[in-house]
Amino acid sequence: MDFATIVELLDSAVRLGTPLLLACLAGLFSERAGIFDIGLEGKMLMAAFFSGAVAAVTGSAWLGLMAGVGGALSLSLVHGMASITFRGNQLISGVAVNFLASGFTVLIAQSWFHQGGRTPQLSGSGRFEPITLPGAEAVKDVPVIGQLYDNLLSGHSILVYVAFAMVPLTWWVLFRTRFGLRLRAVGENPESVDTAGISVVRLRYTAVAITGVLSGLAGTYLATGLAAGFVKEMTAGRGYIALAALIFAKWRPVPALGATMLFGLLEAISNRYPNIDLGVVNLPIQFMQAVPYILTVIILAGFIGKAIPPRAGGQPYVKER
Amino acid sequence: MTLFKQFLGAAATLALSAGAALAEPAVIYDLGGKYDKSFNEAAYNGAKRWAEETGGKYKELEMQSEAQREQALRKLAESGANPIVMTGFAFGDTLNQVAPDYPDTKFAIIDMVVDQPNVESIVFKEEQGSYLVGLMAGMASKTGTVGFVGGMDIPLIRKFACGYVQGVKAANPDAKVIENMTGTTPAAWNDPVKGGEIAKAQISQGADVIYAAAGGTGIGVLQAATDGGALGIGVDSNQNYLHPGKILTSMLKRVDTAVDEAFKAGPDLKPGIKVMGLSDDGVGVALDDNNKSLVTPAMLKAVDQAKADIISGKIKVHDYMSDDSCPVE
């Protein structure tokens, strides 16, 4: 394996890891506030559909982005209503969101475009085209650093850079602002937040809305950045892998970056080398595809550190009388 | 009208009962969906063509989940639909159980062999069509490296791959073929993002022609090939129009003809195995205005020659499913 191949693998890992990263950060906000969210998959799917549809009609990826975020946000609010206002079971609400998105997207796509539940192919300004960072052409031939800059850092769509910027931003919001402190508190011990005179309901709704925006970015990137349009069920389980990454990262933003990029890299490797021959054993592709889940189970089982979810996660808050 | 006459003739000779004569045919599309621009859509086109030509009506049903298969089959059979055509190997086990319960109903299954007295199993010689597109890929490639992206890893898709490799090697014995499967679950048919990523990986390894046999995933493959300056090859339906001038050709699998013929046969559908290959135009390559500029006269000549040789038996294209292995890599 030469250096160019490694750079290509990493480049592919960044592309595949970005939707996971955005979805993982989305889940992080929600779960840190005490709302479990297994509906990430559905929200991404909804965003992928609305971004693909609006971008196809208007020819603008940016309008598509707004529509995608709006679509995911609306599902977020449904989840919020069910689990915050009506104090329903958050897992059931999440499953419902997934089913709703799975059926709704195909149904609406069919009635709008008559292409069998897909949106028309996007081209030109309907897609987020790769951005060439300044100077990438100039340093292309510089060994190692130039190659890294040109191939790995440059040449991604704007949403990739947004996703990476979200990591320090999330860290800063969660751990350095008053809002972040309250958000974490509401996921650990909502009673104390309430005692301090802060609205638990409002904090949780804010967190769920942030989740909607971030998962909207993730879905939009799938449909208008990586692919060129929406296809039914195109999220293909990425929402669940993002949840696994969230557990793997123990609900922390910087490890979330590491976990999602690791999962992206594993997928990139399995795309490039379907079977890995280690001399003694031949690792089949199924193994590579299962590795993210195996790693998550190992973490959950407590072999490598302990993954402790936010304490108030999954419980609706009932004010004491 | 001709069909109506045929039908009258058939009715006279076989003295069909009035009830059977009124039966509507039905088609069930598999999980890829009716409009997958590929396999299931070809079935839909066949049914539509039959309806336009005969003015007849047909029932159709689209699978949404694995769990619906048996229920869907029984429901259609009980509604009196005859024959019932289903697309896809995945119906095999279910049909094997359901068919004996409805001895008066005829079933046709595409891509799978089900041994029941009232079932017609329609299988295609995909390896022959894939050989021809492989031949064209081998001739069109400048780098000597071509790619193959399959959908779900099943013997049927390996059969496509195997035929393709044989064709490529026939054109250029030194050519390298990079083979990838998208996944091992049905989700692999609907993951254009992963398909695109695999295509990009193949392009970075030097592939300049990529054959996608992957249903909805193939759309991502063809898109990535077009974006990356490589040529794509479509599958099942004619997909040349998706990116005009960027898709070398499409491997046609005449699922439409199979459905059309099954519908025409009506309740007289002949049980047994029906194999559709090059000799009866069951498979072929797509040539139209969209890929005219890409196909050279030399390619056309080679394809015609290979076609004639395969039909005459001079070239034997190995069928992966006959022994679960491929002689070339």
Interchain pair A271, B180: CB under 8 A:
yes
* CA gap A306, A250 in Å, rounded: 8
Q: Which of residues 192-211 of B touch A (CB under 8 A)?
A: 192-194, 196-198, 200-201, 204-205
Are residue B268 and residue B142 in the same domain, yes or no? no
Spatial separation of the C-alpha atoms in residues A156 and B182, rounded to whole Å: 23
Q: What percent of chain A has pLDDT over 90?
A: 60
* Residue B20 pLDDT grade (very low, low, confident, very high; cuts 50, 70, 90): very low
B110 and B177, same domain (yes or no): no
Residue A299 touches partner B, C-beta closer than 8 Å: no
Percent of the residues in chain B that have a pLDDT greater than 90, as a whole number: 67
Q: Which domain holds residue B56?
A: 2-124+255-280
Of A19, A226, A267, the CB nearest to B196: A226
Amino acid at A201: V
Tell how far CA A62 is from the center of its chain.
19
- The predicted structure's pLDDT at residue B66: 81
Mutate to test the interface with B, among A98, A152, A231, A241 (most CBs of B within 10 A): A231
Q: Is the domain of B199 the same as that of B133?
A: yes
Whole-angstrom distance, CA of residue B145 vs CA of residue B175 = 6
For range A269-276, the mean pLDDT: 78
> Which of A12, A115, A121 minimises the CB distance to B197?
A12
Q: What is the mean predicted confidence (pLDDT) over B253-259? A: 92
Condensed to tens digits (0 to 9), the pLDDT of residues A285-308 reads 778 778 878 887 887 777 666 778
- Å between A174 CA and nearest CA of chain B: 32
Q: Could you tell me which residue, A202 or B63, shows the higher pLDDT? A: A202
**Can you tell me the mean pLDDT for B62-89?**
89
Contact A236 B204 (CB under 8 A): no
Distance between CA atoms of residues B120 and B83, nearest Å: 10
B173 and B151: one domain?
yes
- Mean of the pLDDT values across residues A148-173? 91
Average pLDDT of span A246-261 = 93
| Residue B62 in domain | yes
The answer to whether residue B87 sits within a structural domain is: yes
The three-state DSSP-derived secondary structure of A250-306 is CCCHHHHHHHHHHHHHHHHHHHHCCCEECCCCEECHHHHHHHHHHHHHHHHCCCCCC
Residue B314: pLDDT band (50, 70, 90) is very high
CATH of the domain at B44: 3.40.50.2300
- Whether B109 and B165 map to the same domain: the answer is no
Same domain, B211 and B311: yes
Q: Is the pLDDT of residue A120 over 70?
A: yes
Q: Is the same domain home to B135 and B33?
A: no
Q: Do A234 and B191 touch (CB under 8 A)?
A: yes
The C-alpha atoms of residue A115 and residue A129 are separated, in whole angstroms, by: 24
Phi-psi region of A144 (alpha: psi -120 to 50; beta: other; left: phi over 0): left
Kindly indicate the confidence band of residue B124, based on its pLDDT and cuts at 50, 70 and 90. Answer: very high
Q: What is the mean pLDDT of residues B10-39?
A: 66
Residue A1, pLDDT score:
67
Please tell me the predicted confidence (pLDDT) of residue B21. Answer: 45
DSSP B187: G
Are B311 and B166 members of one domain?
yes
Strands A276-277 and A282-283: antiparallel
Confidence of residue B22 (pLDDT cuts 50, 70, 90): low
* Whether residue B209 is found in the same domain as residue B245: yes
Q: Do the chains contact at B191 and A267, CB–CB below 8 Å? A: no
CA gyration radius for chain A? 20
Asked if residue B10 has pLDDT above 60, the reply is no
User: Of A232, A233, A286, which is closest to B184 when you measure between CB atoms?
Assistant: A286
Tell me how many domains chain B contains.
Answer: 2
Q: In this complex, is the C-beta atom of A45 within 8 Å of any C-beta atom belonging to chain B?
A: no
B209 and B187: one domain? yes
CB of A127 less than 8 A from some CB of B: no
Q: Please name the member of A8, A115, A231 whose beta carbon is closest to the beta carbon of B204.
A: A8
Same domain, B13 and B130: no
- Among the partner-chain residues B37, B187, B201, the one whose CB lies closest to the CB of A12 is B201
Q: Report residue A223's pLDDT band, with 50, 70 and 90 as the boundaries.
A: very high
Same domain, B60 and B152: no
The confidence score (pLDDT) of residue A304 equals: 66
